[in-house]
């Protein structure tokens, strides 16, 4: 019998990375993710923040 994965975390987050050529598409993607999936959409950072190698926006559930 194959074991099913188990979820041991209550919350997740992901980062959408983009640059000046894709910021508009990333912004639309993030806002649509918030509407469709009910995730929290963070600030669209048009600068480097923390350890992230690109501009970013956080999506959190």
Q: What is the CATH number of the domain that holds 31?
A: 3.30.70.1240
Q: For residue 7, what are the contacts with CB-CB under 8 A and spacing of at least 6?
A: none
Tell me the C-alpha distance between 38 and 45, whole Å. 20
DSSP state of 51: T
Mean pLDDT (the chain) is 95
Domain count across the chain:
1
In the predicted model, is pLDDT for residue 1 greater than 80?
A: no
The answer as to whether 5 is a domain residue is no
For residue 37, give its domain range. 13-60
pLDDT of residue 23: 98
Q: How confident is the model at residue 48 (pLDDT cuts 50, 70, 90)?
A: very high
């Amino acid at each position: 019998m194959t074991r099913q994965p188990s979820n041991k975390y209550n919350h997740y987050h992901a980062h959408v990375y983009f640059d000046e050529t894709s910021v508009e598409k990333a912004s639309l993607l993030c806002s649509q993710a918030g509407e469709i999936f009910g995730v929290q959409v963070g600030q669209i950072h048009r600068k480097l923040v923390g350890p992230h190698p690109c501009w970013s926006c956080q999506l959190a559930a």
